[in-house]
Amino acid sequence: MVECPKCAVINYLDPYTFWDFTGKVKCAGCDAVFFVEQRNGHLVRGPELTTGPHDKLPGYAQTKDYSRVFAGPGKTNPPPMARADFQGKPIPITRNIRGKLVAGRPLKPEELIGSRARYIVEGKGE
């Protein structure tokens, strides 16, 4: 989150693309360009007004009183979307990486060995 030094619009910087970033960002409110430096997601330097073309756009922007949201082409980056060329299906799993059962589907009674649910199903009670 970076506040524009010119118009005080809050520009939210996407942590994925701005994690380790040094460059110019364009304000979505007033189109001013300012310099920022971020390391490990934290603002190290800036915002400082500068000139020239911007390197990136913020992901989202709004006023301090939440009355106006700035979005659209040339103002903010579009949200990340799933790949359009992906046509696979999810792989159904029944065990996690440690070998424990997961509820990716309804479990059968024989799969509940040693669990509290198995004792209840078999009538062994409490």
Cα–Cα distance measured from residue 123 to residue 85, given in angstroms and rounded to the nearest whole number: 51
- Please report, for residues 46, 75, 90, 103, the alpha-carbon distance to residue 22 in angstroms, rounded to integers and kept in the order given: 10, 20, 38, 44
Question: In the chain, what are the domain boundaries?
Answer: 2-70, 93-126
pLDDT in tens, the chain (126 residues): 899 888 889 999 888 888 899 999 999 989 999 999 999 988 999 899 999 899 999 988 999 898 888 888 889 988 777 666 666 776 677 777 887 777 666 667 776 666 666 666 666 655
DSSP category for residue 117: H
**Residue found under tokens 């460059």:** 23
Q: Is-above-0.75 flag for pTM?
A: no
How far is CA 21 from its chain centroid? 17
pLDDT number for residue 10: 93
DSSP category for residue 11: E
Cα–Cα distance measured from residue 41 to residue 83, given in angstroms and rounded to the nearest whole number: 25
